[in-house]
Structure 1
Amino acid sequence: MNGRNVLLTGASSGVGRHLARLLGAKGANVICCARRQAELDSLVVEIEAAGGQALAQVCDVTDAASVAAAFDAAEERFGLVDSTIVNAGITNAMPAIRMSVESFDQLMAINLRGAFLTAREAGARLIAAGEGGLTRPRRVVFIASTAGRKPERGAAAYGASKAGMIMMAKTLALEWARHEINVNAVLPGFMPTDIIADYLDSEAGQKQIAGWPRKRTMPVEDLDAAMLFLLSAGSRSVSGIELVVDDTQSLA
């Protein structure tokens, strides 16, 4: 990843924060995007203390102008973004009949609209640069979820948003194939990140874990190899896939 310019949304916590650290340690210039400035600043300090290069950029993925501004800032500091990780997202688990329209709209705005705006901006800039304008691999990776292909109770909206991300990734892979832009979706299982830790510790969460083949959650580090592969030159012929990384959870 040396010299690669990678923009990552949802970088302030959880999977995003972990991947930002990973990419910084592997030599990438990491553009860390999220809504919380203080968390981004502390992340950049961590990355740079370990010898990496990073930029904190406040970004609201539901706002096209804010997304464009993030890419502008990245280009000003490091040059053209060659790879984008579409990670920003929220969850709001509850039975569908109890979910308010406002909660549904907020989830879709961040998870699906935000994914579209981020990926569209990434692709548009790479296409405008032309194939001769960048010799590094051109990659867009969506962080989706196994909930996008397997029904989960209380996840009608969340699952629909992740299923939408998966199809978006495949469609963009088709549209952008002639521009040598590879687009893929990674589908993690349940991981003990901040956003879901309380549920996993609850009685219901423990019951669900007990029903999985390996009866455990997967550590976020288990995403590393898959992500590095999809961002690398070695994945040249891999585009339009949904890569499940869930420690067999979805087989239950």
Structure 2
Amino acid sequence: MTQNTEQFQNKVAFVTGAASGIGLAITKQLLDNGAVVIGADVNEDRLKELDKELGSSFTAEKLDVTKESEHEKVISNIVNEHGKIDFAFNVAGAQKAGTITDLSLDDWNFTVDLVLNGVFLGMKHQAKQMKQQEHGGSIVNISSLNAHVPMYTGSAYASAKAGVEMLTKNGALELARHNINVNAILPGLVNTPLVDDFKSGEIHEAFMERIPMKRPAEPEEVANPAIFLVSEGASYINGASLLVDGAWAVSGYPDLSRWF
């Protein structure tokens, strides 16, 4: 993204999953464009490092996105300090994988709680604040290519990400009248620690055969369109699902059962 240090001057942004990967890339780009950013994550040690690294426009908040009371506390802290929330990015996510017949209910619940319920709770309390603001706000949820394309051993993750996409659309339907835009980014394979198992060997080659652009995205390449969706240039985009996948959706997954 071309750096424009005035684009988001006086804007307040909230990012979950801000300690690494896509969340950190979004955080850095918002800061580069002049926003004040509150970055939340469950990784307190990394947050403390970022608090020192990213400067005075960044504030770290510890947040377990599966806990409603923690969402309420963080939003209250932001409003008490800054008086508003202009943009919110719900990025936090992970999974515990397994085939349907082997996956435990605890692992299913872990994934759905983090990936889907965490976004629901974030949207709920972000939008409550935005509804009180005359100017409304913008929310971007990170869904996944897996909202459309199934993944072997990923039934919980794919189902939860599909839920995030529909939750986004329902949010747009309910919140547009309050001047709040809600959109989703659906990344494909992204070069983050969450996909370390796919970065080498035959499994990597199988993925590259399926991705027409022949490489994973860098986190910044997902952050770019996420930032665009809260910009003035996206003011009439609402309820959209934007695939950011190097054209992967047109070809589908390799047969991952060979490795599991």
Deviation at 1:202, TM superposition (A): 4.3
Q: CA deviation at 1:215?
A: 2.0
Please give the alpha-carbon distance, in whole angstroms, between the structure 1 residues aligned to 2:90 and 2:223: 15
The letter for the 2-side match of 1:166 is E
Question: 1:45 & 1:233 partners in 2: Cα distance?
Answer: 31
Which of residues 8, 11, 21 in structure 1 aligns to 2:15? 8
Inter-partner Cα distance in structure 2 for 1:90 and 1:13: 12
| Percent of aligned positions that are identical | 28
Work out the CA distance in 1 between the residues paired with 2:137 and 2:148: 26
The match for 2:162 is 163
Work out which of the residue numbers 109, 117, 138 in structure 2 matches 1:113: 117
Residue 25 of structure 1 contacts residue 47 of structure 1 at CA under 8 Å; is this kept in 2? no
Give, as a single letter, the amino acid of the residue that structure 2 aligns with 1:30.
V
Q: Tell me which residue corresponds to 2:49.
A: 42
Q: Say if 2:22 and 2:223, in contact at 8 Å, map to a contact too.
A: no
Does 1:27 find its partner at 2:26? no
Q: Deviations over 1:133-153 (max 9, x none)?
A: x4xx61000011000111122
| Aligned partner of residue 96 in structure 1, secondary structure | coil
Corresponding residue for 1:234?
A: 233
Deviations 1:158-179 (A, max 9, x none): 0000000000000010001111
Q: CA deviation at 1:230?
A: 0.5
SS at structure 2 position matched to 1:191: coil
Structure 2: gaps spanning 5 or more residues: 1-7, 252-260
After superposition, the C-alpha distances for 1:68-94 in whole angstroms (9 at most, x for unaligned) are 111111122222111110111112333
Report the equivalent of 2:190: 191
CA RMSD of aligned residues (A): 1.4
Q: After superposition, where does 1:48-87 map in structure 2 within 5 Å?
A: 48=55, 53-87=57-91
CA distance in 2, matches of 1:110, 1:38: 20
Q: Deviations over 1:21-68 (max 9, x none)?
A: 1111111111111112111121222221xxx60111001111111001
In structure 1, C-alpha distance between the alignment counterparts of 2:201 and 2:59, rounded to whole Å: 37
Unaligned runs of 5+ in 1: none
For residue 200 of structure 1, report the CA deviation from its aligned partner.
Answer: 2.6
Counterpart residue type for residue 34 of structure 1: D
* Alpha-carbon distance in 2 for matches of 1:226, 1:10: 17
SS of the residue corresponding to residue 72 of structure 2 reads helix
TM-score for the superposition, normalised by structure 1: 0.92
